Structures are given as C-alpha cells and as structure tokens.
Chains A and B, each alone.
Chain A
C-alpha cells in the first residue's frame, strides 16, 4: 500500500485515477437512467429506499438496468485486466483474451453447457473458466515447446481461435436451439443477464482482481525476462501459470455473462499503458476502472441510439473503440518498435 500511495503523489497518476473514477460514475448513472424508459434520480432513490417498490421505475432499476450495468462493469473490468495480464506474462502487446483463443475456449464451454442444458450460474462460470484456461495453457505450452517468437504466439492463438470456433459452429449446427442465441453470443450482448448469472461471475471476478492487485510486483518482475526473474528468486513457471489461470478465470466469467466480447481486452490495456506507463500496480487498477466504464458506456449507447431497437454491444465497442485505438496508435507514432 505504501508503494501505491507513494506513486500516487505523482500528479499525472492522481489525475488519471480521478478521470477514471469520474468516467465510471458517469457511465454507471447514464446506463441506469437511459434506455427505452427514462429512469430518473428520484426513481433510483425511491427504489433504493423502498427495495420492493412497485413503481415501473423501481422495477426497471432493480430487475433490468442494475443487473445489466453491473454485468457491464464486471465484464469490462475482467476482460481489460485479463488482457493486461496476458500481455505482461507473454511479453506480447498483441495478446488479448479474444486473439489468443481464450474467449473462444470459454465460448465453446458455454455453448456446450447450453447444448447439455447446464444453465446454473456457478456451473456456467466454472465450465467457462475451464474452457478459457485450457485454451490459454495450450497456447502457452505450445509457445514454450516451440520456442515461439512473439509473432508465432499470436499465430498459434489465431489458429486455436479458428479451431475452437469451428467446434462451436459444429455444435450449433447439430443443435439448432443453441444456434438461436449464438449470433448475439458471438458479438457480445448483455440483454440476457440475470442475477442468477451475474452474482457468481461477479464474486469470482472481484476476488480474482483483488488477488491480482497483490501480485503486481511479480508481474513487473516477469517482464524483466525469464533468466533475470529467476535470478531474483522467482519461480517463473509457477507464476506464469498462476497469472494465466487468473486471466482465464476473468475472461471465462466475462464470456459466461456476455458472450464473446472482443476488442476490450486488447484496446483498454493498450490505451491505459500509453497514458499510465507499464507499472502493473497502476496498470491493473486503471484497466479495471476504464474497462468497466467503457463497456458500460458502449452498452448504454447500444440500447439508446436506435431505441427501441437494441444492437449488440460488441458492434458499438468496435465502432467507438477502433477509431480511437487507431488515433492513439497514430498519435504515438506506432508505439514501441519492439512490441
């Protein structure tokens, strides 16, 4: 904690945290208030004071908007932190849960669960995590065995992604009922979120992120390279597996809630890294806050721009995120050559 407070004396970092928290609060309230029906502050306050309020505003708040926005925050935070961790551990800035097949692994597990009619929140999160973990470990182990370069790691991930998607499509082809929900699932969508799904995933995500916050120095030391990290007494194999396990846990929970939200796990860590630097003690919390706020904002836009119609949040994220990402890259003149 001393470390954290010390570096918070840095004015830029303080401003960044202030901006991130403001962004989060604004996104949260916009998400709660806006939609096909406007929910005012009075409605929200009334709903909080009288939990079983019977007004439409109170019902919309408790049973529609609140679980949905909370799911956005959980997924955004989880995927962003997962992306930052995977990028750090694999020393590859192009890595992200969606590119390496982690999301697809979780997605296949969720599709299989649906095919076998396993709908319980905890079970869905657990199987989703197992799918994500299997995928990330496969990429990690193959990379190590092959002595793969950073580019090859990405190619391995792309290949695994294609394979897992092909398996998912095969399952969907033979199970039309699963296919019914597959298009929104593949783009990423929060319309089907319930408390039953949200609570287990949220608990796992929050606990995992808190544990990761205590391991930020380990993540930084891993970036010094294997031999140097070992020279500092770190069991790099164990730590790398542990970090990938946590990253898979986060991505798996996010996928079990909202489907295959791509991009957020790549774009948010990149943007935050460019502003805050690489120090994991700031990178991870800022990724969590910015990622949560970004997904919540995108979801609100997806519900309101073409209201009463709703488009999957993944489309809005790509429309908003991609140009901004390109702007950041161009402004930074392509970033570091070694990336």
Chain B
C-alpha cells in the first residue's frame, strides 16, 4: 500500500499540494481526477520521488520513500509520464529499458532481462511489433509499448499520468481494460484521468483532488453519491444500472 500523510509540495511560493493524505492499495485501479492545475501530476511525481516533498511523508509498503534511493523506488513503482518522448528506437529496445532499474554498473541487459521484455510484450499483445521503430507506431500502439515497459520493470505499483490522452475511443477502452486486468493480477494501478465517465466506469477507487488536497478517495459509487463532482467540476454525472452492468455518463442537462 502507498500511504500519503499530510504531504505538501510547492513550486517556489506556490503550494500545489497541501496536507494531502490518501492511500492507494495493491490490486486496485485508482483514478485521480481533478481540475487542471489541481496537483494531480505533481502528486504522481512526488510519489515516485521525482519531486521532493516539503512536509509530510509517503510510505511504500511500510517503507519511508525518503529512505529509498531512486533505483530502489524504480524497483517498486513504475511511472509513465504525461508527455512522453518518442525515441527513435525499436519497440523491443524501449520495453527492454524497463529492466534498467534492475541492472548495476556496467548496465548490460542479460538474457533474463530480454526474456522479461519479450514476456511483457507478449502480455500486451505487441510481440509482433518488437522490431518496429517507435516512430512508426500509432499513438495507441506506443502507449501499449510504454505499458509493456512498465510491466518489464516488474513493480508492484504502476503510475500513469493521463494515459488515455491522444488515444481514440477504442484504444482508450482497450487500455482501461488492460489496466483493470493488471489490477486484478495484484498490481496497484494509479492513473490520472480527465475523462470522468471512463474513470468511474473502470476504477475501483476514485481520488478527487481539489486545491492540492484529496477531497475524497473512495469507490466510484460513494464518490458519486457524495455530490463532490458537482462541487469540484461544476457538472453532474448520470448513473444507470442494468442486470449486469452499471454505467456512468455525463448529465447532458
């Protein structure tokens, strides 16, 4: 479990996160939602140690984040940033770099690392694209390669910053289903989302961030019933249910 206690962080004099507290569990898909500039991406970067925390603390499975070196953090948490470069390398090379935190100097990939990379690609259904250049792949396929890289990293938690951005709807759905499967396999998935219905329909938990604080972190149904969506976003969600499924959508009124 990732436990965040009274976390504060700011760029210069601007406090982005203030006394932020929340818990993210393994085996759950948690979506972080909030308005632009509310501190969602900052939160992910702080959890993974890219940004320092001013006050408060983060525990990763009981270990204080500040006591871990970057390489140790990368063995526990993989992080896919929002604006990703598209390097001119093959999909396989890209996925293989997911094994980077597991290497020590001189960092040379072993057959075990290659096997892990192939296995991750196979799991994502992109083995056939191993020799394709990243530049030649579609946005959806690239996203799959990045997730395969995170799988090759072999961590308990995967953090994704707006993974559905720039993807068409079929690729968005495919991605969210994949994340659900990974959560079902025991990984803790934490993803920043802007598409509220997508977040509500696929997540186990929703964390609503506003003004640098976690307003609520609970199941979609509880968040829906709480009425916080209207307060934070100024819009309403619809909820419908049939015998097998329930579905959230935007209220058109």
Contacts and interface: CB of A to CB of B under 8 A. Distances in A.
Interface of A: 1-3, 91, 214-215, 217-218, 220-221, 223-225, 227-228, 230-235, 277-279, 336, 338
Given A3-B109, A231-B50, A232-B153, A220 B93 contact: yes
Query: 4 closest Cβ contacts across the A-B interface?
Result: A233-B74, A231-B79, A227-B81, A233-B71
Interface in B68-91: 69-75, 78-89
Interface in B83-140: 83-89, 93-94, 97-98, 100-101, 103, 105-111, 135
A228 B80 contact: yes
Contact of B87 (A1, A218, A231, A278): A278
Interface of B: 45, 48-50, 69-75, 78-89, 93-94, 97-98, 100-101, 103, 105-111, 135, 153
B85 A224 contact: yes
A230 B87 contact: no
Contact of B101 (A227, A233, A277, A278): A233
A161 B69 CA distance: 39
Interface majority SS on A: helix, strand, loop or mixed? loop
A2 B100 contact: no
B50 A227 contact: yes
A336 B74 contact: no
A225 B80 contact: no
A218 B89 CA distance: 14
Contact of A217 (B71, B74, B80, B107): B107
Given A217-B108, A220-B93, A230 B48 contact: yes
Nearest to B111: A2
Given A231-B78, A279-B93, A221 B100 contact: yes
Contact of A2 (B79, B93, B110, B135): B110
Contacts of B153: 232
B79 A227 contact: yes
Nearest to B106: A214
B48 A91 contact: no
B109 to A, nearest CB: 5
B97 A231 contact: no
A225 B85 contact: yes
Contacts of B78: 231
A235 B101 CA distance: 11
B71 to A, nearest CB: 4
A2 B112 CA distance: 12
B89 A277 contact: yes
Contacts of A277: 88-89
